[in-house]
Amino acid sequence: MLVIAIMVAAVAIALPVMRGAFEDQRLRKGAEIVQTEFARARNQAIKTGKVQVFQHGVFSDRFATTEQSSLEDALLSSTADDNSSQAAYSQPGAAPGLPMRTLPEGVYFVGADVRVDQRTSVELSSFEMSPAMEDVGSTAASREATRDVSWGMPIFFFPDGTTSTATLTVANDRQQAIEITLRGLTGLARVGNPQVIDALNAAGRSAAARANR
């Protein structure tokens, strides 16, 4: 009985530690998935000579990359409307069939800092309609939930290998978060180390204060 009691106590102590380790591993995997998607979008832009657009769900685990439609395509589209670009990318349009991916279970996007320079502004002006995000082979309930997702600021990948300058943050329910930083000049993405969300927010406020000096 004493041995059993010791074993039960050991398991009770070990389980939270193991669960936390698994959740941290999924968080790291989620950040690496985003890093890989950035690399894939950059390579696709170079290969096809057409701008690629990455979009993510705000406080969601959903994301997708698609080819940027030209301004002429948007004007010729029978479904084009008079919405501004700001409204367009936050409320995806009705183009069906775009494969959408998800982060690992329990991992979701919690923040994005996308720098809007002159070239990004030009792309946003022609970004009349965001593509609909639809799970391939998903259930009707899943597709309905997808339509309710609010989509964040798009990140652009250009044919010359450069990109938007951006930082995305993914987190889990343990309040651990990882930043994925995309350098616009080189188009290379770097995955940071896990941190507590409050620490990341504090670092962001400090950086903003230094930039405003």
Q: How far apart are CA 191 and CA 30, in angstroms?
A: 10
Q: Which of 99, 125, 122 is nearest to 40 (CA)?
A: 99
For the cut 70, the answer to whether the pLDDT of residue 108 exceeds it is yes
pLDDT given at position 100: 82
For 181-211, give the DSSP string. Answer: EE-TTT--EEE---EEHHHHHHHHHHHHHHH
Pick the CATH number of 2-211 from 3.40.1440.10, 3.20.20.70, 3.55.40.10, 3.40.640.10: 3.55.40.10
pLDDT of residue 213: 44
Nearest Cα residue to 154 out of 126, 99, 114: 114
Q: Which has the higher per-residue pLDDT, 99 or 70? A: 99
Domain ranges of the chain: 2-211
pLDDT (tens digit per residue) in 158-210: 999 999 999 999 999 888 999 999 999 999 999 999 998 875 554 544 444 44
| DSSP assignment string, 99-115 | B-EEPSTTEEEEEEEE-
Q: How confident is the model at residue 62 (pLDDT cuts 50, 70, 90)?
A: very high
Residue 33: the pLDDT is 96
Locate 53 and state its tokens: 């657009």
- Per the confidence metrics, is the pTM higher than 0.85? no
